[in-house]
Amino acid sequence: MPEESCLFCRIASGELKVEPLIETERVIGLLNTMEPFSQGHCVFFPKTHTPALHEMDAEDLREVVTTVQRVAKALSAENYNLLQNNGALAGQTVFHAHFHLIPKWSEDEGLVYRRQPQHGLDQAEISRRLKDALAQP
């Protein structure tokens, strides 16, 4: 069900007129003209309102990823980031699941990704808990 205040729902419903880069039965892809990180930065989202990745319909997710792949090939960018944030703490600002395809044409452009070691994390414990949760139907 569309959310009245959701930017992507307003685009999907036709209320906001945009020029899609690509559109399928389930997905819209746009060039990011508001806050592009690089030349060719695109945003992809399902037409159905879903706040986060873990809530997405499997067919919507499959079609989003396939659409992103088509555009990545068309861009001919050898280096790119695929970014998907869930929740405010993760940087999500539009609460409709969406993916950013961010080409990297030079070291200075696009999404900057830096690893910061997190000492004291117990990966073995989280692995055990996840395996237990995944084993349950």
Amino acid at site 111: L
| Coil vs helix vs strand at 102 | strand
Q: Catalytic residue at 98?
A: yes
Residues 59, 46: Cα–Cα separation, whole Å = 10
Q: How many degrees, rounded to 5, is the angle at CA 19 between CA 54 and CA 109?
A: 70
Report the residue count for the chain.
Answer: 137
Please say whether the beta carbons of 62 and 80 come within 8 A: no
Q: What is the largest CA-CA distance in the chain?
A: 49
The number of beta carbons lying within 10 Å of the beta carbon of residue 85 is: 17
Catalytic residue selected from 41, 49, 96, 98: 98
Catalytically active residues are 98
